[in-house]
Structure 1
Amino acid sequence: MTAFALPARAAGLWPAVTAAALTATVTVTPGFTVGAFTAPIAADLRVSRLTLGLAMSVFYAATALGSPFAKRLAARLPVPTALTVAALAASATLLAVSLATHAAVLFAALAAGGLTNALVQPAAGRVIAARAPEHRRSLASGLVGAALGAATLIPGMLVAFVLPAHGWRAAMAAAAVIALLPAALAPLTRVPAAAPAAARPGAPDPANAGAGRTLRLWAVAAALSAAGNNAVATYFVTLAGHAGIAGAVAGNLLSLSALLAIAVRLAAGGLTDRAPRHNPAVIAAMGAAGAAGLALVALGHPAAFLVGAVLAFSAGWGWTGLLLATVIRLLPGRAENAGHTVQVGVFSGAAVAPFAFGALSDAFGADGAALAAAGAGLVAAVLAVLGARTGR
């Protein structure tokens, strides 16, 4: 019996994880797409950029605040059902935004999309815990973590190829159609009935007090790091224009940066699977490198912006998959809790980023706002180290 345990556990791993990652990509796309289309949306709806920043913050805040409920729901629902609902809701959100004629519609649609987005990470955690053997969990988590990078690829391509000729509404409608595609792959994510991730909802959390402190530190670190890097991703086109880079070129750079971010997540996951105990140190190092990238963006020079954006996208966000894998190891049998912990941290930071960055830009300019984001990233790296020491 035991000779066949590992193949059964790992059967269908990569199709299942890929389906979960694609769903995670489209469900977070509404926030990034509104950010990429800030200028035309603001002009069409006659609202300020600060208002749009608040609308994006509502999307991410809904994910963070809805995460505790989504964690419990994801533990009860079949994984394919949870992911299908999330993908269909993301498509509906994007379609509603494309038809919006008033800022209130925009706020309502993004709030609803943020709530359903909260289903994805707990469900993905169940897939990884159920199907991935120990020596593949960082790579599998890296693939799911790559969704944050891939989510910027979609608006980047739309800015470059659809927006100039057809306008932001048509580009947003195209994003709504793209968001439907992962729903067809959701059946691949079925979790075996005997999977450890299917632990009883409400069962006692096995994490001890030390693990609890570690999780809190890591969640705050994730929030601070995500705040800085999300701001750059959200306002990428705007910051590129401030550095003297044309809009179409900025769209292509956003797409290329997203591809690099995906590659870094996968490479980091594959390499750290060889020695998972070093994951916290790698997370802290990548966070520090991302902070350095944000400092370069603050210089406002085209070459510095290019190097800084690459660092912020690749290193600054490349740790999300590693954090998920590390927390899954810390919370055996409660994979939905692992996804919840990472999600609350990342999306809490993302909720603060658009509004805070917009306010700081108005007060101190884009360079000052990027420098503040770099400081937040540096503090995040320190907290990641402290969390690892607490865990030990």
Structure 2
Amino acid sequence: MSGRRALALALLSTGYGGMPVWLAAGFAPQLTAELGFDDVGLGAAVGLYFAFSALIAVPAGRLVERVGWTTGVCLTTGMSAAGLAGIVVFADSWATLACCLLVGALANGTSQPAANLGIASVIPLRRQGMAFGVKQAAMPATTLLVGLALPVFDGGSWRGAFAVAAGVAVLVCLWALTLTTAQRRARPYPAPDDLPAAARPGRRRPMRPVVVLAAAATLAVAAATSLGGFFVVFGVDRGLTPAQAGHLLALCSVVGVTSRLLVGYLADRRGRRHLVSVAAMMVAGSGGLALLALDAGIGPLVLGGLLGFGLGWSWNGLFAFAVVLNSQGSPALATGIVQAGMGTGAAAGPLAFGLAIEAWSYSVAWLGTAVLLLAAAAAVVVARRMIARHR
């Protein structure tokens, strides 16, 4: 398989792993009004989605290593399509929405192991930094598409957006299925001498640093998913219309996509100190989240959103590259461990954020997320030192 096809499938797998929940978050003002729940309910629904993703992440990583990454992409897009279609047909309350999101959460469990194994197996090591940047750009690209969809499907037609996304997911699933069939007729992966270094079989490195990185990911993703899940409703709370908040989300997402691509490009040229860069981005992103806590008009909202999406949520690609690079022989399993941490953070973060809004205010909630990103940066530095000792 060509590197371009592998990267395209990795990109689509990552995007559709989170598509159901980000569509629900983007259309939250319409969903909460029609289905009858509040910010706490939104946080609980998002939290359940990521909690279930965390629960199945490690088994999903082992499954992808056994069945192959193209089959993993097929599973991801197929389950995402089922969850999206379920929302279109069945969602008439918070409970039915949450059940459909749990179906979509199955896709989130397999999306990252499949995408990361595909990149590690097919794309040369010298280009993997950019490849992981492109792959992780799928997340802000998804929120960008959601932001652009808000004005198009405004006025109570939100089910149409879910239906379109489900249809495209089915097409991607069929494409992955044809490639899976073709690979089974030929050699499924390159011979060992052709493999990038991170994917070559051999002595597995200790997993303890990966566990610490998973803890860092838990904290950082708790902050990032709160940003993605509540940014639109926060903008509306600050006086924007849903369409204006959607346009701002789209702008911030463009910055996030650009940042991930740039970071991946620089990683390939620099070739080292990737985790140091990750920690620095988390620290800078925490400043953006702190700006959102200021009740001082639109300026802090725009600047905080740009910094939050551009740095506080753009470390993922470089982070994934570093995990795979330091997990020789088991990239999908290591991804599953980290994904379990990410799922835990993504589950707890939005729920805690919603409860903080109800108990105190948006300002307190945003300050809490800024502290989480600072703590994540510290954990990344600790993990880097552990990795250095094992070399």
Q: TM-score, normalised by structure 1?
A: 0.90
Once the two structures are TM-superposed, the CA of residue 287 in structure 1 deviates from its matched residue by: 0.6
Structure 2 CA distance for aligned equivalents of residues 240 and 258 of structure 1: 15
**2:363 is the counterpart of 1:370:** no
Structure 2 CA distance for aligned equivalents of residues 205 and 66 of structure 1: 26
1:71-112, Cα deviation, whole Å (9 max, x unpaired): 111112132222112112111111211221233222221112
1:28-75, Cα deviation, whole Å (9 max, x unpaired): 111111112222212222223312321111111111110111111111
Once the two structures are TM-superposed, the CA of residue 264 in structure 1 deviates from its matched residue by: 0.9
Instruction: Calculate the aligned-residue CA RMSD, in Å.
Output: 2.2
Q: Kindly provide the amino acid, as one letter, of the partner of residue 239 in structure 1.
A: F
Once the two structures are TM-superposed, the CA of residue 122 in structure 1 deviates from its matched residue by: 1.1
1:319-350, Cα deviation, whole Å (9 max, x unpaired): 11111111111111212123213322322211
- Mean Cα deviation higher: 260-269 or 125-134: 125-134
Tell me what 1:283 maps to: 278
Q: Kindly provide the amino acid, as one letter, of the partner of residue 192 in structure 1.
A: Y
Tell me what 1:5 maps to: none
Counterpart of 1:42 (choices 27, 32, 35) is 32
Ranges in structure 1 where 5+ consecutive residues have no aligned partner: 1-10
Contact conserved, 1:291 with 1:312, CA < 8 A, in 2? yes
Tell me what 1:240 maps to: 235
- Mean Cα deviation higher: 341-350 or 305-314: 341-350
Counterpart of 1:182 (choices 153, 163, 172) is 172
Once the two structures are TM-superposed, the CA of residue 204 in structure 1 deviates from its matched residue by: 9.3
Q: Which runs of 4+ in 1 moved over 4 A?
A: 187-191
Structure 1 CA distance for aligned equivalents of residues 42 and 366 of structure 2: 18
Percent same amino acid at aligned positions?
32
Contact conserved, 1:205 with 1:334, CA < 8 A, in 2? no
Alpha carbons of structure 1 residues 25 and 252: separation in structure 2 relative to 1, 3 Å: same
**2:185 is the counterpart of 1:194:** no
**2:193 is the counterpart of 1:171:** no
Contact conserved, 2:57 with 2:339, CA < 8 A, in 1? yes
Q: Kindly provide the amino acid, as one letter, of the partner of residue 292 in structure 2.
A: V
Once the two structures are TM-superposed, the CA of residue 271 in structure 1 deviates from its matched residue by: 0.5
Contact conserved, 1:19 with 1:188, CA < 8 A, in 2? no
Q: TM-score, normalised by structure 2?
A: 0.90
Ranges in structure 2 where 5+ consecutive residues have no aligned partner: none
Tell me what 2:124 maps to: 133
Tell me what 1:324 maps to: 320
1:161-184, Cα deviation, whole Å (9 max, x unpaired): 1123x5222232233223334324
Alpha carbons of structure 1 residues 98 and 68: separation in structure 2 relative to 1, 3 Å: same
Contact conserved, 1:18 with 1:143, CA < 8 A, in 2? no
1:169-205, Cα deviation, whole Å (9 max, x unpaired): 22322332233343244255855253569x99xx997
Tell me what 1:352 maps to: 348
Task: Give the alignment of 1:1-392 within 5 angstroms.
Answer: 12-99=2-89, 100-164=91-155, 166-186=156-176, 187=178, 191-192=188-189, 194=191, 206-208=204-206, 212-300=207-295, 301-392=297-388
Contact conserved, 1:125 with 1:338, CA < 8 A, in 2? no
Alpha carbons of structure 1 residues 205 and 93: separation in structure 2 relative to 1, 3 Å: farther
Contact conserved, 2:203 with 2:329, CA < 8 A, in 1? no
